[in-house]
Structure 1
């Protein structure tokens, strides 16, 4: 069973949520929900998020219907499951693009202890440097570039601050435009 290292629970996943998504999302994600709940791990890098709350709060900031938010990163990226296509994607709001994501969540979650996998698969730079400067972000928070990268801000840990994750995603979408989902 996949486990997220250094996990700090925020809340258990309600049984109704587990049943609503059973058979709709990959089993390893359901296993994390059942064993660890909502919360964050890997020093605050990876957040196991409530898909219903995320869909409700983000609305049009999600680039396509039928996307189920599963995880968020401390840099406000959101890993979604595209139920219609049976594929995962990572919504890289900070860069204004959508990328493919691991097809095997067992491996992706298992790689969370590997610094190379974190850098390559999870695009976690400059997370270590900003955590050294600002500390572990709260569960509902993310690091955000000030000014936004889309508005010409430099991609430097010195230009990161902390704020509400979902509000930040909404702000990026309003100022930089919606992500193009193909």
Structure 2
């Protein structure tokens, strides 16, 4: 294990619900995602970290989610994006083939943060490592509800997330009593269809 991933594990804790990554998946994304990420896949698999608050995922499983969120937006023209990670409450981390870790969507409120500028190919591995080093448990915790949700609803499996029901964009309330454990892909797709994706404003942060 290299120093960067060791530091990442140190911050988040041991992995859970590991899935081995087949060589076919590694080859599918060679030249599209950083070689360093593919090496991490081969060594560590696709897993949850921080007791399931953050997940490194199989982008192929989320191709439909990516399409649902980005189709018809400016991002469709800017880059070719792959979902490489997600949070327990539906924070989505996209990797652009030209722009790296340049787009994050908070799916439960349909807001995005972006800094799309092209990155030289020889810098992609460093940017991937910077993405992991810069990640923090608190970035994926909604209003400090993760631990209470885990205690009430149980630990997430690799295909699950915590969700407010009804969804916040439909007038739902963001309290523990309104959280449920749901299938991630299906719910993320549903959220993408409720309202138009908007940038974060200073008042949101």
**TM-score scaled by length of structure 1:** 0.81
Which residue among 190, 194, 197 is the counterpart of 1:171? 190
1:48 to 41, 51, 56: 56
For residue 30 of structure 1, report the CA deviation from its aligned partner: 2.3
Distance 1:111 1:135, change over 3 A: farther
The 8 Å contact of residues 18 and 48 in structure 2, kept in 1 or not, is answered as yes
1:62 is matched with 69
Deviation at 1:161? 0.3
Specify the SS of the correspondent of 2:140: coil
1:123 aligns with 2:140: yes
TM-score (norm 2): 0.73
| Aligned residues of 1:130 and 1:158 also touching (Cα < 8 A) | no
Partner of 1:145: 164
Deviation >6 Å, runs of 4+? none
Counterpart mapping for 1:1-182 below 5 A: 1=2, 2-3=5-6, 4=9, 5-55=13-63, 57-58=64-65, 60-63=67-70, 64-65=75-76, 66-100=80-114, 104-110=127-133, 117-119=136-138, 122-125=139-142, 126-174=145-193, 176-180=194-198
Cα distance in 1 for residues equivalent to 2:39 and 2:176: 34
Deviation at 1:104, TM superposition (A): 4.2
Q: Distance in 1 between matches of 2:153 and 2:108?
A: 19
CA contact (8 A) 1:111 1:118 kept: no
C-alpha distance 87-110 of structure 1, shift in aligned 2 (>3 A): closer
List alignment gaps of at least 5 residues for structure 2.
Answer: 116-125, 200-205
User: Structure 2 CA distance, aligned partners of 1:162 and 1:31?
Assistant: 31
Would the aligned equivalents of 1:61 and 1:173 in 2 still touch at CA under 8 Å? yes
Q: Which runs of 5+ in 1 are unaligned?
A: none
Cα shift at 1:17: 1.9
Partner Cα separation in structure 1 for residue 24 and residue 55 of structure 2 = 20
Larger Rg: 2
| Structure 1 position 168, deviation (Å) | 0.5
> Does the 8 A contact of 1:94 with 1:148 survive in 2?
yes
Deviations 1:73-114 (CA, angstroms, capped at 9, x unpaired) = 11122111022333432111111111248x8443443466xx
